[in-house]
């Protein structure tokens, strides 16, 4: 029997197994299928409160404005600069503006809260919003720490509220197509996934305001223009520092850094595509090798996650100084490789095997001279700004009382994994996940 015949037979066997597994619900946990709750009939438009209108909050505000499902009922921010910047863009100039986010939670007319505050406030704001009976959209990472992730997950289970975490790739159709491809078995056995975040910008990473390419500080950056006490409330007291406020992503006290802000996107996507749980172990390393500007999060880092029950490792390369590799994710199977990113899905065959034959017509086979450089298939992607897609998924499920595509139970896994990477980086030790105690160990 030829190699191609053997691979074809293996592929057929694999497909049969995967169909049985899927039917048995082996992968159901990573799909956000609708789960209706008992609630009032959906309204035409929901009233939304937005916490934080900095760089990311500004973009989310645009997404709310462009949605047919929601209207902005109020905002909260602690910076005069960011409040001044958002005012001209408010559809209703009478929109309530608050310094204290609790005022939004106390407003009975607000149905849902969108949280775009710094990482160290995500958990507390989410918990407070749930206590106030609000539905919640919280930007990624879901929480700053593992302990907070456990608290938010447990509260979410009891709350009955609709919650969406800001992992927008789960809303894009081609990521679900990638899941189908993997589960069909056509890539063979996948033992390695490589993830990247490769950037090299003219502006030092996260030393910016307004946009990620607006360096420095705004005119209104003095202590009289910022409620520093409120920003620092859940951290040890320190004198006001405008760089810590406007460039908070550079500092460990407030930020999850590359691991949480960048790596967790493709890692969460891998959880969706592969149907993964929390990794058993993580080893991470790196440092501040180039941008020695007072930051305390690394500008260069690597992480290695191990999933022994799945015979799988996931490795991550985070670079702020080189953008050569922009693939984001490679899923490496015994029959072929899938490259997956925000607006691309490409398949490569290891050789002219059963995978190759499935996608390449016989009369076109001779056109493929270099299988490492020539994809045998490019999945069409219908890429609309994913922020709008993700917000709309949240708003629609708030109205229908369904389950969003990035629910807490799924995003908990990526949150624990990224905090494992941070802990390993800090301690320079391999860490593990203790599922029984629900905590990170060494």
pLDDT digits (tens, 9 = 90+) for 366-382: 999 999 999 999 998 87
For residue 88, is pLDDT > 80? yes
Give pLDDT, residue 383: 65
Tell me which residue of 356, 360, 270, 347 sits closest to 313, measured CA to CA: 270
Q: Could you read off the pLDDT of 399-422 as tens digits, one per residue? A: 999 999 999 999 999 999 999 999
Is the domain of 290 the same as that of 423?
yes
Q: Would residue 322 count as lying in a domain?
A: yes
Mean pLDDT value across residues 310-314 = 98
Q: Would residue 371 count as lying in a domain?
A: yes
Q: Would residue 223 count as lying in a domain?
A: no
Report the CATH number at residue 265: 3.30.360.10
Is the domain of 131 the same as that of 146?
yes
Give pLDDT, residue 376: 97
Give pLDDT, residue 43: 53
| Residue whose structure tokens are 């004198």 | 239
For residue 160, is pLDDT > 60? yes
- Reported as a pLDDT band with limits 50, 70 and 90, residue 26 is very low
Q: Would residue 398 count as lying in a domain?
A: yes
Q: Using an 8 Å Cβ cutoff, are 116 and 139 in contact?
A: yes
| Residue whose structure tokens are 């790596």 | 263
Is the domain of 299 the same as that of 332?
yes
Give pLDDT, residue 380: 87
Q: Where are the alpha helices (DSSP H) in 68-197?
A: 80-86, 102-106, 122-131, 146-159, 173-184
- Reported as a pLDDT band with limits 50, 70 and 90, residue 29 is very low
Q: Using an 8 Å Cβ cutoff, are 138 and 160 in contact?
A: no
In whole angstroms, how far apart are CA 76 and each of 53, 59, 102? Answer: 8, 15, 9
**Whole domain around residue 39: which residue ranges?**
29-170+389-407
Please state, rounded to an integer, the average pLDDT across all residues of the chain: 91
| Residue whose structure tokens are 């996107």 | 265
Is the domain of 83 the same as that of 154?
yes
Q: Would residue 243 count as lying in a domain?
A: no
Q: Would residue 216 count as lying in a domain?
A: no
- Reported as a pLDDT band with limits 50, 70 and 90, residue 220 is very high
Is the domain of 92 the same as that of 67?
yes
Is the domain of 85 the same as that of 146?
yes
Rounded to 10 deg, the angle between the 173-184 and 3-23 helix axes is 120
Is the domain of 164 the same as that of 176?
no
Tokens of 316: 């991550």
The percent of residues in the chain predicted with pLDDT above 70, rounded, is 90
Give pLDDT, residue 309: 97
Task: Please state the domain count of the chain.
Answer: 2
Q: Rounded to an integer, what distance in angstroms lies between the CA atom of residue 431 and that of residue 428?
A: 9
Is the domain of 180 the same as that of 138?
no
Q: Would residue 244 count as lying in a domain?
A: no
Give pLDDT, residue 394: 98
Q: Would residue 284 count as lying in a domain?
A: yes
The pairs formed by 261-265 with CB atoms below 8 angstroms and a separation of 24 or more are 261/119, 261/140, 261/141, 262/197, 262/318, 263/195, 263/197, 263/303, 263/316, 263/318, 263/418, 263/421, 264/140, 264/141, 264/167, 264/414, 264/415, 264/417, 264/418, 265/140, 265/167, 265/168, 265/169
Q: Rounded to an integer, what distance in angstroms lies between the CA atom of residue 77 and that of residue 97?
A: 8
Is the domain of 287 the same as that of 264?
yes
Predicted TM-score (pTM) of this structure? 0.89
| Strand order, beta sheet including 70-76 | 96-98, 70-76, 46-51, 112-115, 135-138, 163-165
Give pLDDT, residue 384: 66
Mean pLDDT value across residues 2-9 = 44
Is the domain of 303 the same as that of 313?
yes
- Reported as a pLDDT band with limits 50, 70 and 90, residue 385 is confident
For residue 432, is pLDDT > 80? yes
Is the domain of 130 the same as that of 150?
yes
Give pLDDT, residue 326: 76
Is the domain of 157 the same as that of 267?
no
Largest Cα span, the chain: 79
Report the CATH number at residue 119: 3.40.50.720
Q: Which class for 220: exposed (0-12), middle (13-18), buried (19 or more C-beta within 10 A)?
A: middle
């Amino acid at each position: 029997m030829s190699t191609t015949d053997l691979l074809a037979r293996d592929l057929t066997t694999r497909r049969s197994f995967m169909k049985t597994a899927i039917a048995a619900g082996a992968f159901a946990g990573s799909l956000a299928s609708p789960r209706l709750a008992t609630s009032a009939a959906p309204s035409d438009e929901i009233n939304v409160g937005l916490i934080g209108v900095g760089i990311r909050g500004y973009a989310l505000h645009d997404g709310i404005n462009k949605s047919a499902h929601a209207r902005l009922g109020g905002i909260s921010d602690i910076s005069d600069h960011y409040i001044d910047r958002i005012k001209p863009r408010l559809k209703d100039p009478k929109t309530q503006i608050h310094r204290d986010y609790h005022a939004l939670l106390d407003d009975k007319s607000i149905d849902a809260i969108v949280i775009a505050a710094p990482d160290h406030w995500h958990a507390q704001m989410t918990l407070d919003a749930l206590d106030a009976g609000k539905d919640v959209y919280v930007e990624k990472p879901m929480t700053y720490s593992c302990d907070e992730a456990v608290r938010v997950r447990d509260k979410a289970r009891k709350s009955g509220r609709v919650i969406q975490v800001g992992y927008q790739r789960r809303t894009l159709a081609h990521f679900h197509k990638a899941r189908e491809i993997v589960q069909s078995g056509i890539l063979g056995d996948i033992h390695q996934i490589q993830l990247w975040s490769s950037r090299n910008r003219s502006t030092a990473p996260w030393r910016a305001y307004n946009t990620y390419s607006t360096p420095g500080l705004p005119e209104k950056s003095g202590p009289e223009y910022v409620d520093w006490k409120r920003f620092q409330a859940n951290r040890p007291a320190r004198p006001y520092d405008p760089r810590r406020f406007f460039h908070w992503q550079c500092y460990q006290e407030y930020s999850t850094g590359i691991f949480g802000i960048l790596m967790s996107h493709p890692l969460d996507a891998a959880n969706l595509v592969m149907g993964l749980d929390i990794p058993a172990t993580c080893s991470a390393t790196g440092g501040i090798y180039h941008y020695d500007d007072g930051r305390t999060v690394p500008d260069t880092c690597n992480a290695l996650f191990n999933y022994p029950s799945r015979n799988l490792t996931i490795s991550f390369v985070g670079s702020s100084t080189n953008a050569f590799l922009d693939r984001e994710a490679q899923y490496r199977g015994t029959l072929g490789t899938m490259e997956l990113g925000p607006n691309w899905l490409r398949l490569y065959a290891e050789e002219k095997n059963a995978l190759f034959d499935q996608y390449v017509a016989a009369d076109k086979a001779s056109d493929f001279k270099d299988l490492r450089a020539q994809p045998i298939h490019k999945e069409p992607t219908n890429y609309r700004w994913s922020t709008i897609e993700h917000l709309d998924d949240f708003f629609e499920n708030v109205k229908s009382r369904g389950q969003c595509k990035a629910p807490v139970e799924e995003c908990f896994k990526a949150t624990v994994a990224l905090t494992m990477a941070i802990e390993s980086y800090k301690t320079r030790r391999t860490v593990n996940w203790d599922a029984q105690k629900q905590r990170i160990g060494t």
